[in-house]
Homo-oligomer: A and B are copies of this chain.
Amino acid sequence: MATIKDIAKKAGVSITTVSRALNGYSDVNEDTRKKIVETAKILNYSPNSIARSLVMKKSKTIGLLVSGFIRENAKDNFMIEVMTGINDFASQTDYDIVLFTTNSSKQREKTYTQLCRERQVDGVIIQGIRTDDPYLEEVVEGEIPCVLVDIPRIGKHAGYVSTDNIAGAYEAGKYLTEAGHKEIAMINGHDYAFVSKERLEGFTRALLEEGIELPAQSIENGEFSEEGGEEAALRLLEKNSDLTAIFCSSDLMAIGAMNAIKSKGLRVPEDISIIGYDNILLSRYVQPSLTTIAQDTNALGYEAAKMLIAMLDQQKPPGNTIVKHELIVRNSSKKR
């Protein structure tokens, strides 16, 4: 593997000159530059970014920390869409993406900060970790530039990107009440997700404005999974046979809920209307197709990368970016 030293020797110049010529500095004689570029080509030279990183103290990589990057979660293409968004932006820059995952026991021993410092990433985008994750605090308070996806925390070096979950859930609630529903329940994710808290807040508010209470017994957690949603729906149906609508904090849970309803011999949307959240791919394909709150997931990733790289390259302070959302009415819901 050719190095600048080899080029220097062959071209009869110093390594400094080679470095300068190859990096496009202006103070190099045009003839010298030509010669250097030429010999670089002849020697099939590739710069060694590791060596450069070492001296520049910048690796030009950003870590992508995804919790639960595992098979089961592939169902939910939320994660992959965020990733493509990140990649869309990053590929326009000179940053590369390093994948970190936290499901392995090996990495559990290390804090995220350690992980990032060892791999020398310049910054990190964090996705899918729970609010009770012991290392979240450390990252938010830490020195490593970081952008959180869907976790509204700001620190000295930490910003976030999310959608307005309160507004989204509010619209879902408004939609249902305006459609004449009164016996309404909600399937939420779990208590350690910010989005769960926010969606509950927005939804409750919308109902309350119409004078409809959402008592604790009308809320069940479905852990964001299809099975969890199914079981949660079953419990809700058990408790209240007059239900006419269920709002689910994720499409996957909504699909589970639809299964539950069908298994009870009831129909969606004739007997019970269902609204999901996320607009995952599947939501268009299930029968009936799912009414849901769409998020621009790709933009979530894109904006996260944009913010992080702005922090890195232009010392921009971390902030928060809110990506738009939208109610998409399909066939799983109807007027009473």
Interface residues of A (CB under 8 A from B): 1, 46-51, 53-54, 59, 61, 64, 69-71, 74-75, 77, 79-81, 84-85, 87-88, 91-92, 96-101, 103-104, 106-107, 114, 117-120, 255, 281-282, 285-287, 298
A88 to chain B, nearest CB (A): 7
> A74 to chain B: which residues have CB within 8 Å?
77, 80-81, 84, 281
* Contact, CB under 8 Å: A46 / B282: no
A298 to chain B, nearest CB (A): 5
* Contact, CB under 8 Å: A104 / B91: yes
A83 to chain B, nearest CB (A): 8
A138 to chain B, nearest CB (A): 12
Query: Taking the full assembly, how many copies of this chain does it contain?
Result: 2
> A70 to chain B: which residues have CB within 8 Å?
84, 88
A-B contact pairs, 25 of them (CB 8 A): A46-B117, A49-B119, A50-B50, A50-B53, A50-B59, A50-B120, A51-B54, A61-B98, A64-B99, A69-B84, A71-B88, A71-B298, A74-B84, A75-B77, A75-B281, A77-B77, A79-B80, A91-B101, A91-B106, A91-B107, A92-B104, A96-B100, A281-B282, A282-B285, A285-B285
A21 to chain B, nearest CB (A): 18
> A54 to chain B: which residues have CB within 8 Å?
48, 50-51, 54
CA distance A99 to B305 in the complex (A): 14
